Amino acid sequence: MSKRALLVLAAWSLTGCATVATLDAAKPGAPLVYAGSRLDLYALQGGCCARERFGAEAPRYPGLDLPASLLLDTVLLPFSCAAALGLNLGVSGGL
């Protein structure tokens, strides 16, 4: 792995992941589908109240986080759509 790739990976890991933050937020009325990507875009556009709107703080470097959030949001799309529709899939997290 090149030095540049390692640097980008290290910087991204320090910023926090918007998708993970929004999944953990559990704020009523917050967006569910592509929530992490939407939080990144909101922060890039200068949004002032991420916690009130998404239930989570925006990452420090949303431009760096956006590609990873898009990927993770896409992988989790079936689950977020089911949650948005109110379907209970019987999936739970934690140990």
Altogether, the residues listed in the chain come to a count of: 95
* Stated pTM of the model: 0.74
Judge whether residue 93 has pLDDT over 70. no
What percent of the chain lies above the pLDDT cut of 90?
23
Residue 89 counted as domain residue = no
Residue 92 counted as domain residue = no
Residue 7 counted as domain residue = yes
At 73, the pLDDT band (50, 70, 90 cuts) reads very high
Residue 81 counted as domain residue = no
Q: How many independent structural domains does the chain possess?
A: 1
Residue 15 counted as domain residue = yes
Judge whether residue 37 has pLDDT over 90. yes
Residue 87 counted as domain residue = no
User: Residue 3: its pLDDT value, please?
Assistant: 80
Domain span including residue 53:
3-76
Q: Tell me the residue type at 64.
A: L
Give the best-scoring range by mean pLDDT among 37-46, 55-64, 75-84: 37-46
Residue 22 counted as domain residue = yes
How far is CA 70 from its chain centroid?
A: 8
Q: Tell me the residue type at 3.
A: K
User: Residue 8: its pLDDT value, please?
Assistant: 65
Residue 63 counted as domain residue = yes
Residues 55, 45: contact at Cβ < 8 Å? no
Query: In sequence order, what are the residues at sequence separation of 6 or more whose Cβ sits closer than 8 angstroms to the Cβ of residue 42?
Result: 50, 53, 54, 58
